[in-house]
Structure formats: C-alpha cells, structure tokens
C-alpha cells in the first residue's frame, strides 16, 4: 500500500487542487501573501501525511507528522476564512472548502487515534 491510497491523502490532495484553482483568481498583489499561504498550507497537509506514512513503524514519529498535518489543515481553514473576508471567495465557497477541510481533519484524527492499523510492513 502507498500513502497515495490513503483516503486522508486523497481528500487532502483534492482540496489542495481545488484551492489551487480558486486562488488563480485572487488579485496579483496577494501572490506572495494570502495566495502563497493558503496554497502552501493545503499542500503541506498532503506532504505531512506522506511523511507520516513512511514513519508508520515508529508510532511517536507517525503521530507527530500526522499532528503536523492536522495543524496545517487548521491553518488552511484560517486562510479560507481570510479569503472570504477579503471577498476573494463567496460564503458558499468558504463553506464548501471548510467542510472539505473538516473531513480531512477527521480522517487525520482517525489515523492518529488508530495508528496501530497503519503499522504494516514498509515497501522497498
């Protein structure tokens, strides 16, 4: 099994790509601030899930990387709120993105609370 087959990874990746598409319409003066921040945090959720999966034989490291992923997911929610407050996305888009992020958070927390289920053999 690969980290790419994890539901949390798949949903986080999809959210990150939706955010990427939406932020293409953000003002150019936000390129190095809000646009960059929300893209980085949403992508980091995926990257930390991948890193966690590779450390799954070491429970403390696995959980640590997953909590990093959960933190990045929460940060993404903050940037979603800012995006709405700055009128770059609608309230409906904000709700859809937030709901997707909440779902990702639940999946990450399931992995944290059930880490033993993910401690299989590593691939070569």
24-46, pLDDT tens digit by residue? 999 999 999 999 999 999 999 99
pTM: 0.93
The domain total for the chain is 1
DSSP 8-state secondary structure symbol assigned to residue 86? T
DSSP state of 88: S
Q: Is 120 exposed, middle or buried (0-12, 13-18, 19+ CB in 10 A)?
A: exposed
124 domain residue, yes or no: no
Residue 103 lies in a domain: yes
**Buried-exposed string 14-32: b where 16+ CB fall within 10 A, e elsewhere:** ebbeebeebbeebeeebee
Say if residue 1's pLDDT is above 90.
no
Pick the more confident residue, 124 or 18: 18
Q: Which of 29, 52, 26 is nearest to 39 (CA)?
A: 26
pLDDT for residue 81 is more than 50: yes
Q: Is the pLDDT of residue 22 over 70?
A: yes
Tell me the two tokens of residue 21.
């598409």
With respect to residue 122, please indicate whether it lies within any of the assigned structural domains.
no
Q: Is residue 99 part of a domain?
A: yes
Is residue 57 a part of any domain in this protein?
Answer: yes
**Can you tell me the distance from the alpha carbon of 44 to that of 117, in angstroms, rounded to the nearest whole number?**
23
CA atoms of 50 and 63, how far apart (whole Å): 12
With 80 as the cut, is the pLDDT of residue 73 above it?
yes
| Domain at 48, CATH number | 1.20.1440.60
Domain membership of residue 15 as a residue range = 3-115
For residue 88, being part of any structural domain is answered with yes
């Amino acid at each position: 099994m690969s980290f790419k087959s994890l539901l949390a990874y798949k949903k986080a990746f999809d959210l990150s790509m939706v955010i990427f598409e939406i932020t293409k319409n953000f003002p150019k003066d936000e390129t190095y601030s809000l646009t960059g921040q929300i893209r980085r945090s949403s992508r980091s959720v995926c990257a930390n899930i991948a890193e966690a999966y590779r450390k799954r034989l070491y429970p403390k490291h696995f959980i640590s990387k997953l909590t990093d992923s959960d933190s990045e997911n929460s940060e993404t929610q903050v940037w979603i709120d800012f995006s709405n407050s700055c009128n770059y996305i609608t309230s409906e888009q904000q709700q859809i993105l937030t709901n997707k992020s909440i779902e990702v958070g639940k999946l990450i927390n399931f992995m944290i609370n059930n880490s033993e289920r993910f401690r299989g053999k590593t691939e070569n």
